[in-house]
């Protein structure tokens, strides 16, 4: 059994949904790059950039923009990532409109309709968070929510792709019963990965990724001074420009160390899940276990490399994208476990 079904068994809109997933990955990667390049406020207004559809390039345009925004002069290495990210995100909205149109044109009992409709509504909300990210000057709560929204959009698009792919595991009755017993474990695995991604988002939005420049210790200590109360204070007031972060060292260390401990918990749990899936002795479950292990190891190595090599942007972007891949692996595993069918004489039931 391959990941994708034969074309004749797929539902209408599969290719469009798969293309939307690829665009969502690009949007996510571009958003990560924009944030890591400190270009989140490369355009201090919205939806334009210093009043331009793209960004100011000519000398008189730059001079006029600097006059209008004296506290945030034009930096060309930051304007283009922000605007490209915005336009890519807009194109993703067009994809979701197309998916809803497909669903309405081929409306039927087995054609997903609620999910494409929800996706379009969610994309609109995600666009609002993109606006608030700029207008609220990188307020960490909004930045983290916007990041989680990007991961959620990708996950929902992938779930839609799996549903349109119209392929389920076909298992003997005994194997299906064993797999059903693992449902709570795979759901918990998904929630743990989501929690770790949220911790990572809070880490980057508060510029706490560089709070621990050494590994495995942090600032030369196993347990450095940490201020959890301020580090995880979600009631930070709106108003300051949060570019570069405003928390003190101990608060950022608390966030960073929490993310490291979260990585340990996530790794141990997914390793346990890997053993459970392989122990079923079912070929598709073994493949799911192998995918989980490979992506998990890649993510751990990238996380360590971030610190060892002093947070190069390329590695940091890869760390975020592989984190997205780990989330998609868990979404796929949950979908397959919950939709597995008993194979009775080769006939789908």
Residue range 65-91, pLDDT digits in tens: 999 888 889 998 899 999 999 999 999
> Could you give phi then psi for residue 196, rounded to 5 degrees?
-70, -35
Q: Which residues pair with 344 in a beta bridge?
A: 347
Half-sphere exposure of 193 (CA within 13 A, CB side): 30
User: What is residue 241's DSSP assignment?
Assistant: -
Nearest C-alpha neighbor of 252 from the set 206, 319, 199, 190: 206
pLDDT digits (tens, 9 = 90+) for 99-121: 999 899 888 888 899 999 999 99
Task: State how far Cα 335 lies from the chain centre.
Answer: 18
Indicate the average pLDDT of the chain. 91
Spans of all domains in the chain: 1-167, 170-349
CA distance 163 to 197: 24
According to the model, what pLDDT value does residue 271 have? 97
- Give the pLDDT band of residue 272 (cuts 50, 70, 90): very high
Predicted confidence at residue 196, as pLDDT, reads 97
DSSP state at residue 180: H
Minimum mean pLDDT among 168-172, 228-232, 287-291: which range?
168-172
Q: What is the pLDDT of residue 145?
A: 94
Average of per-residue pLDDT across 294-319 = 94
- Using omega within 30 degrees of 0 as the cis cutoff, is the peptide bond preceding 198 cis? no
CA-atom Rg of the chain in angstroms: 22
Quote the CA–CA distance of 201 and 259 in Å, as a whole number.
10
CA 221-223-227 angle, to 5 degrees, is 120
How many helices (H) and strands (E) are present in the chain, helices listed first? 11, 2
Burial class (CB in 10 A: 0-12, 13-18, 19+), 239: exposed
In this structure, are residues 342 and 173 in contact, taking their beta carbons and an 8 Å threshold? yes
**What was the pLDDT predicted at 323?**
96
| pLDDT (tens digit per residue) in 132-164 | 999 888 899 999 999 999 999 999 999 999 999
**CA 39, 42, 47, 53 torsion: positive or negative?**
negative
**Of 36-45, 89-98, 188-197, where does mean pLDDT reach its minimum?**
36-45
pLDDT (0 to 100) of residue 347: 38
Query: In this predicted structure, what is the pLDDT of residue 346?
Result: 46
pLDDT at 165 over 60: yes
CA contacts within 13 A on the Cβ side of 125: 15
Give catalytic residue positions.
Answer: 82
Which one has a higher pLDDT value, 40 or 252? 252
pLDDT at 248: 93
Which of the pair, 255 or 237, is modelled with greater confidence?
A: 255
- How much is the pTM? 0.92
pLDDT score of 203 more than 50: yes
For residue 195, what are the contacts with CB-CB under 8 A and spacing of at least 6? 262
- The backbone region for 245, taken as left when phi is positive above 0, alpha when psi lies in -120 to 50, beta otherwise, is left
Q: Which residue has the higher pLDDT, 106 or 347?
A: 106
Start-to-end C-alpha separation, the chain: 17
Q: In the beta sheet, which residues pair with residue 221?
A: 218
Q: Hey, CA dihedral for 235, 37, 27, 316, is it positive or negative?
A: negative
Peptide bond into 47 cis (omega under 30): yes
Q: How confident is the model at residue 345 (pLDDT cuts 50, 70, 90)?
A: low
* pLDDT (average), residues 174-180: 89
The more confident residue out of 291 and 346 is 291
Q: 87: alpha, beta or left, given left = phi > 0 and alpha = psi -120 to 50?
A: alpha
Per-residue CA distances from 144 to 138, 147, 197, 202 (Å):
9, 5, 10, 6
Per-residue confidence (pLDDT) for residue 344, from 0 to 100: 66
pLDDT tens, position by position, 26-47: 999 999 899 888 888 889 898 8
């Amino acid at each position: 059994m391959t990941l994708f079904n034969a074309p004749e068994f797929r539902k209408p809109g599969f290719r469009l949904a798969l293309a939307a997933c690829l665009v969502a990955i690009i949007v996510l990667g571009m958003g990560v790059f924009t944030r890591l390049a400190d270009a989140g406020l490369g355009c201090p207004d919205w939806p334009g950039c210093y009043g331009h559809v793209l960004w100011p390039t000519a000398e008189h345009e730059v001079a006029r923009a600097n006059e209008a925004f004296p506290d945030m002069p034009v930096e060309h290495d930051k304007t283009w990532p922000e605007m490209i990210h915005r336009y890519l995100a807009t194109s993703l909205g067009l994809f979701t409109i197309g998916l809803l149109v497909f669903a309405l044109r081929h409306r039927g009992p087995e054609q997903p309709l609620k999910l494409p409709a929800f996706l379009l509504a969610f994309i609109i909300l995600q666009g609002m968070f993109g606006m608030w990210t700029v207008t609220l000057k990188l307020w960490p709560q909004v930045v983290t929510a916007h990041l989680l929204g990007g991961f959620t959009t990708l996950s929902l698009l992938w779930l839609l792709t799996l549903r349109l792919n119209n392929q389920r595991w076909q298992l003997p009755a005994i194997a299906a019963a064993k797999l059903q017993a693992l449902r709570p474990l795979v759901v918990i695995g998904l929630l743990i990965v989501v929690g770790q991604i949220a911790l990572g988002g809070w880490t980057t939005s508060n510029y706490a990724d560089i709070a621990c420049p050494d590994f495995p210790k942090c600032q030369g200590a196993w347990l450095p001074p940490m201020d959890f109360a301020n580090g995880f204070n979600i009631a930070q007031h709106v108003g300051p420009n949060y570019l570069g972060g405003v928390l003190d060292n101990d608060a950022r260390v608390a966030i960073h160390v929490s993310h490291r401990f979260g990585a340990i918990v996530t790794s141990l749990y997914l390793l346990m899940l890997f053993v459970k899936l392989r122990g079923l002795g079912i070929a598709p479950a073994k493949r799911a276990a192998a995918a989980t292990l490979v992506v998990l190891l890649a993510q751990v190595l990238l996380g360590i490399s971030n610190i060892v090599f002093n947070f190069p942007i390329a590695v940091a972007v890869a760390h975020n994208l592989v984190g997205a891949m780990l989330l998609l692996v868990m979404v796929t595993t949950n979908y397959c476990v919950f939709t597995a069918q008993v194979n009775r004489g080769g006939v789908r039931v």
